């Protein structure tokens, strides 16, 4: 199995992708391990976090799951090809963006690294898919809701969609039942106070709650 295909399988199997947007990544290794312990199989750092590239390289080195195929590590908030190339050089296994930038998507396709560009309208979403997106990040999903996914997938059932923005424990199952292949979750999971205080048990428990909600929603489909 190609590494890119394995990455997508990991993202879909866990179903929840924590989006790490923090001002301090000095505890990134402990944070990542806590999330993995809670059942997460994919993790997204973001370029808006200071030191994100260095943290990504560190996690690839220090967390065995990211090198042995048990979990995937990606970089988000990638806006252009240079940012994508820098993240891939540091070991990013997938690239996520809040926007659809076709040159960035093209670079990822050329390097066989799964890309998850952001899109909002049906035309943007289909354009991203046709250009080679592995998953389309529907952002900001809080403005759309699960019914948008159900309506969109009726005529476009081939799409792999991941809502991000406004996803929490209350609605994550609704997005999955509406057809999302995974969800992206920020502060509802990766709470700054837990990371600052080293409350890894709370972080693992919250990750477990999301993983359980995803699995239950899939079982109910």
Q: Catalytic amino acids?
A: 44, 137
Q: Which sign, positive or negative, has the C-alpha torsion 9, 97, 167, 152?
A: negative
Specify burial of residue 77 (Cβ count, 10 A radius: 0-12, 13-18, 19+): buried
Structure tokens belonging to residue 19:
């989006």
Which letter does DSSP use for residue 102 in this model? H
Q: ∠ CA 204-11-73 to the nearest 5 degrees?
A: 70
Q: Do 11 and 42 touch, CB atoms closer than 8 A?
A: yes
Backbone phi, then psi, for 185, in 5-degree steps?
-130, 125
């Amino acid at each position: 199995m190609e590494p890119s295909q394995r990455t997508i399988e990991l993202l879909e199997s866990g179903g929840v992708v924590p989006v790490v947007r923090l001002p301090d990544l000095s505890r990134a290794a402990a944070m990542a391990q806590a999330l993995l312990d809670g059942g997460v199989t994919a993790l997204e750092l973001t370029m808006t976090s200071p030191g994100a590239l260095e943290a990504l390289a560190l996690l690839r080195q220090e967390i065995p799951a990211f090198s042995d195929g048990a979990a995937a590590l990606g970089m988000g908030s990638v806006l252009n090809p240079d940012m994508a190339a820098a993240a891939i050089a540091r070991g990013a296994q997938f690239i996520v963006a809040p926007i659809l930038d076709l040159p960035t998507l093209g670079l990822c396709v050329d390097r066989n690294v799964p890309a998850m560009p952001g899109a909002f309208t049906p035309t943007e979403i289909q354009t991203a898919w046709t250009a080679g997106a592995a998953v389309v990040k529907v952002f900001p999903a809080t403005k759309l809701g699960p019914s948008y996914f159900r309506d969109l997938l009726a005529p476009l059932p081939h799409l792999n969609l991941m809502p991000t923005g406004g996803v929490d424990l209350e609605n994550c199952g609704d997005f999955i039942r509406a057809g999302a292949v995974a969800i992206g979750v920020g502060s509802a999971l990766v709470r700054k106070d837990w990371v600052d205080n080293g409350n890894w048990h709370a972080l693992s428990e919250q990750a477990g709650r999301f993983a359980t909600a995803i699995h239950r929603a899939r079982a109910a489909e």
